């Protein structure tokens, strides 16, 4: 292999500007800003939190993996692990299913109505999550709860939406579904639009009814997109912070805490920053795995 120096030296006048201009290096210059951003916002904080997680509470002493070990011994930590997985699995499942259903409905609407409804259904997604979570807090919150008002009007009994463990979990998951479904919908709508009409016509002539066309044409044609969106959403949902923080603050009794809010709780509210960092780092294997599957899927699509 030739070294870079030898390549440079072979040029007639190896001026620095010339190297800058050469095609060979142009690509590196173009990705440099992104590279700096990633190092500054991802790599550095990650390494720093790795370092931080191995200090004691006052950050004066190196304690190795003690923070991680301690966490594994806490019942609360395992409760949070369970919460996070439950929250993610249920929310992602419903977001994907509802998103697909909505996309199918929208796609079958006449074109004029389609544009309107597509815009309307994007509202939850384009609203800042913190703001819409506040809105949902008003919906659930015990003293002015809108749902309870409706329930009472219909002759039912009010429910403790945010203070009962079961209903609190339902509330956070519903809010997350409400926020995340439009993303799936818009992705699936784009996916549906890219399926050639003639495939459906061929299937129709082959004898496929509506259900069979969905089963044998739509689903397989969307399968890669479904895999990628589900994995991507898994990452985002698993690392959710805003909704739980605003609706329940992890309560009642830690039953709605996720990794993100629990890390905040321990690191900032309880003041044990290193241990909070350790909580956050426990997310890494899960997110890393999801990212691996996404990248593999994309790479396979490109071959």
Contacting positions for other proteins (CB under 8 A): 196, 198-199, 201-208, 212, 216-217, 220-221, 223
What's the closest the beta carbon of residue 220 comes to other proteins, in angstroms? 4
End-to-end CA gap in the chain: 27
CB 178 within 8 Å of CB 123: no
Shortest distance, position 99 Cβ to other proteins, whole Å = 21
User: For residues 252 and 164, is the Cβ–Cβ distance under 8 A?
Assistant: yes
Of 192 and 247, which has the nearer Cβ to other proteins?
Answer: 192
Closest among 36, 43, 80 to 275, alpha carbons compared:
80
CA distance 71 to 211: 49
CB 200 within 8 A of CB 221: no
CB of 199 to other proteins, least distance (A): 5
Give one DSSP letter per residue of 249-267, joined into a string. Answer: TT-STTTT--HHHHHHIII
- In whole angstroms, the minimum distance from the beta carbon of 196 to other proteins comes to 7
Q: How far apart are CA 132 and CA 139, in angstroms?
A: 11
Burial class (CB in 10 A: 0-12, 13-18, 19+), 58: exposed
**Burial (0-12, 13-18, 19+ Cβ within 10 Å), 44:** exposed
For other proteins, the closer CB: 113 or 220? 220
Residue 39 gets which letter from DSSP? Answer: I
- Least CB distance to other proteins at residue 224 (A): 10
Minimum distance of other proteins from residue 298's CB (angstroms): 17
* Structure-block tokens of residue 155: 């002759």
Q: Considering beta carbons, is residue 125 or 214 the nearer one to other proteins?
A: 214
Comparing CB distances to other proteins, the nearer of 142 and 220 is 220
- How many CB atoms are closer than 10 A to CB 182? 23
Residue among 34 and 211 whose Cβ is closer to other proteins: 211
Residue with smaller CB distance to other proteins, 95 or 213: 213
Q: Compare residues 15 and 223 and give the one whose CB is closer to other proteins.
A: 223
Residue 147 CA to residue 157 CA, distance in Å, equals 11
Q: How far is the CB of 217 from other proteins (least distance, A)?
A: 7
């Amino acid at each position: 292999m030739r070294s870079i120096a030898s390549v440079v030296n072979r040029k007639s006048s190896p001026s620095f500007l010339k190297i800058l201009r050469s095609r060979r290096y142009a690509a590196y210059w173009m990705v440099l800003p992104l590279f700096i951003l990633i190092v500054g916002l991802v790599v550095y904080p990650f390494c720093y939190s790795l370092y931080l997680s191995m200090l004691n509470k006052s950050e004066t002493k190196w304690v190795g993996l003690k923070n991680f070990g301690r966490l594994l011994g806490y019942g609360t930590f395992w409760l949070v692990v369970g919460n996070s997985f439950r929250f993610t699995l249920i929310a992602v499942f419903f977001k994907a299913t509802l998103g697909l259903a909505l996309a199918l409905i929208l796609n079958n609407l006449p074109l004029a109505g389609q544009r309107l409804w597509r815009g309307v259904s994007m509202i939850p997604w384009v609203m800042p999550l913190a703001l819409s979570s506040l809105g949902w807090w008003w919906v659930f919150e015990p003293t002015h709860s809108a749902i309870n008002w409706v329930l009472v009007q219909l002759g039912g009994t009010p429910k403790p939406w945010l203070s009962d463990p079961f209903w609190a979990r339902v509330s956070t998951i519903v809010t997350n579904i409400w926020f995340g479904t439009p993303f799936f919908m818009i992705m699936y709508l784009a996916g549906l639009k890219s399926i050639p009409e003639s495939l459906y016509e061929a299937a129709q002539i082959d004898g496929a009814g509506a259900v069979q066309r969905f089963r044998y044409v739509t689903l397989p044609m969307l399968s890669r997109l479904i895999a990628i969106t589900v994995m991507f959403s898994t990452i985002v949902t698993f690392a959710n912070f805003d909704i739980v923080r605003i609706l329940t603050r992890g309560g009642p009794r830690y039953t709605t805490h996720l990794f993100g809010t629990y890390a905040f709780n321990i690191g900032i509210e309880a003041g044990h920053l290193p241990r909070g960092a350790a909580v956050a780092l426990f997310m890494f294997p899960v997110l890393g795995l999801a990212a691996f599957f996404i990248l593999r899927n994309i790479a396979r699509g490109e071959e």
